[in-house]
Amino acid sequence: MRMHTAHLWPLPILLLSLGSYLPGSAQAQDVDAVRQELGAVRRQLDSIREQYEKRLRELTERLEQLETQRQAATPAAVPAPSGAPPSPGQAVPLAAAATASPAGEPSLREMLAPRQPFALAQPGRTLLFDIGVGGDFVADFTSRTRERRRDGTFAGRENRMFPREVELGLFGRVDPYASAVVRLSAGEEAAGLEPSDRSVNVAVDEANLTLLALPLGTTARLGVMRPRFGTLNVVHQDDLPQIDRPNVLSRFFGEEQLDGEKGVEAFWVLPLPVYNELSLGAFDGDNEVAFGRGTLRDPLVIGRWRTFVELEEHGGLQIDLSAASGIAADAHRNTVLGLGAKYKWAAPGSGFPLFTVAGEALYAMRTVTTEGDDTAPPRERRLDRWGGYLYGQWDFNRRWAAGLRGDWTELAVERGREWAVSPYLQFKPSEFLRFRVQYKHSEGTGAVERVANEIFLQGTFILGAHPTERF
């Protein structure tokens, strides 16, 4: 029993607590107090609202005054538009709106003020130049013989997947009169005779300044660049129409083409009814296959004429003629002529299907010294070599394309010639991602005596900014 009494002692406290919630005179007093408090809060809110509306009226009047002053300062001949478009369905007197004006123009003082060449960010967090990263990964599948002899299209990288080129590109305007581009690339290359001799080389592909406002409509570039020669030489690795470069370009200029030349180049678009562009450049001549002298005392001189005929609904045709002349590493002159043509037809409307046919022929004239023997001393003789390629591509739609390329070329110096045929298929899930598969059958004679069958796979991507596609 005593135990039970001890357990009952919290009961009165609980009853008292419950009693406080029961209706009664005390509760009625509390309700009145709450009502009074609510009334006070309501009055405070009304007061705040009045202050807010008053402040809003003041700001509106101030804004109207400023707009009136601005309109008064606007010249009568310059119309001024309404700032904001109408709300949905709202009838807007458009002719009446012709008296309003767009955002103010920069003053003369602002326009004359010197500009920063670049900055990492503006207040709006916008970069003042573009950055793009491109990745180009290739896999080459071929026979054991080609791998052992290391004479596949990607020599020393047969039966491997490798980063052909990972590129960092920075480009943009330097100031109102110039633009600049810097492209750094890294890619795997065969370094020696052993299968494991490979290295990833980093190179400055391009680092040049373009002067945009020279007299007589001249545009000039100086620095490290891809010179304007032929049709495909100016195209970057990842933008090539097929996975590999055509044989004639690789045989005449090496795998890297006329890339990374240092010098100066000027070009002009002639004031004619039809597009005609002339370019002329002088370079060190660092191409190891064709022009290895590497000095401006014997410069590599490159010129190109390019024309384009717009055929409207029948497509467009581009023709280019090029010449490059310089001193090879063996101190003899080498001159290469090029003739290229490209035709494209696109269906009206969507632009697809798109049909492309293009080709290029190179003709090289170089002097070489023959080896002497007991009967005849060494003598100089001229070597004339030529080669070309032709391809057609059918873009079924924005995503899928298929094509076929044929190659025929003589070797640049050694005796021999080769031909190849390469069908390929391309898939572009988006503008920034592309996959390709290509089969290549090659047969060669002389110094390239072989029959090669290769399958290439390629994946390319672009991060960030990228230049617009060109014809």
Which of positions 143-172 make contact with another protein (CB under 8 A)?
Answer: none
The single residue among 31, 84, 121, 376 that binds another protein, judged by CB under 8 A, is: 84
Which amino acid belongs to residue 421? Answer: V
Measured from the CB atom, the residue of 64 and 310 that comes closer to another protein is 310
The single residue among 6, 11, 15, 78 that binds another protein, judged by CB under 8 A, is: 78
414-433 binders of another protein (CB under 8 A): 429-432
At residue 260, what are phi and psi to the nearest 5 degrees?
A: 65, 25
CA–CA dist 440, 247 (Å, integer): 11
Closest approach of another protein to the CB of residue 352, in Å: 8
CA–CA dist 427, 297 (Å, integer): 47
Binding of another protein by 219 (CB under 8 A): yes
85-104 binders of another protein (CB under 8 A): 85-86, 88-95, 97-98, 100-103
Binding of another protein by 210 (CB under 8 A): yes
Token pair in block for residue 157: 């990288």
Binding of another protein by 179 (CB under 8 A): yes
The single residue among 128, 212, 282, 296 that binds another protein, judged by CB under 8 A, is: 212
Segments of 275-378 assigned E as strands: 275-283, 300-310, 316-327, 333-346, 354-369
Closest approach of another protein to the CB of residue 398, in Å: 7
380-399 binders of another protein (CB under 8 A): 384, 386, 397-399
CA–CA dist 136, 439 (Å, integer): 18
Show the binding pattern over residues 335-364: x = contacts another protein (CB under 8 A), - = does not.
Answer: --x-x-x------xxxxx--------x-x-
Binding of another protein by 108 (CB under 8 A): no
Measured from the CB atom, the residue of 14 and 216 that comes closer to another protein is 216
Measured from the CB atom, the residue of 308 and 439 that comes closer to another protein is 308
**H or E element that contains 405:** strand 400-410
CA–CA dist 424, 441 (Å, integer): 12
CA–CA dist 153, 424 (Å, integer): 15
451-470 binders of another protein (CB under 8 A): 463, 467-470
The single residue among 19, 24, 217, 372 that binds another protein, judged by CB under 8 A, is: 217
Measured from the CB atom, the residue of 81 and 163 that comes closer to another protein is 81
The single residue among 271, 297, 378, 380 that binds another protein, judged by CB under 8 A, is: 271
Task: Please name the residue that has the structure tokens 């290895």.
Answer: 292
Measured from the CB atom, the residue of 6 and 78 that comes closer to another protein is 78
User: Quick one: residue 407, left, alpha or beta (phi over 0 = left, psi -120 to 50 = alpha)?
Assistant: beta
Q: Is 404 exposed, middle or buried (0-12, 13-18, 19+ CB in 10 A)?
A: middle
* Total count of residues recorded for the chain: 471
What separation in angstroms does the CA of 403 have from each of 348, 349, 359? 21, 23, 13
CA angle 180, 181, 184 (to 5 degrees): 150
Binding of another protein by 269 (CB under 8 A): yes
Token pair in block for residue 274: 């039809």
CA–CA dist 184, 172 (Å, integer): 15
Closest approach of another protein to the CB of residue 242, in Å: 18
19-58 binders of another protein (CB under 8 A): none
Q: What is the DSSP letter of 374?
A: S
Binding of another protein by 228 (CB under 8 A): no
Token pair in block for residue 346: 């696109």
The single residue among 309, 402, 451, 455 that binds another protein, judged by CB under 8 A, is: 309
Binding of another protein by 308 (CB under 8 A): yes
Binding of another protein by 239 (CB under 8 A): no
Query: Cα-Cα-Cα-Cα dihedral of 446, 450, 455, 456, to 10°?
Result: -30
The single residue among 61, 288, 310, 414 that binds another protein, judged by CB under 8 A, is: 310
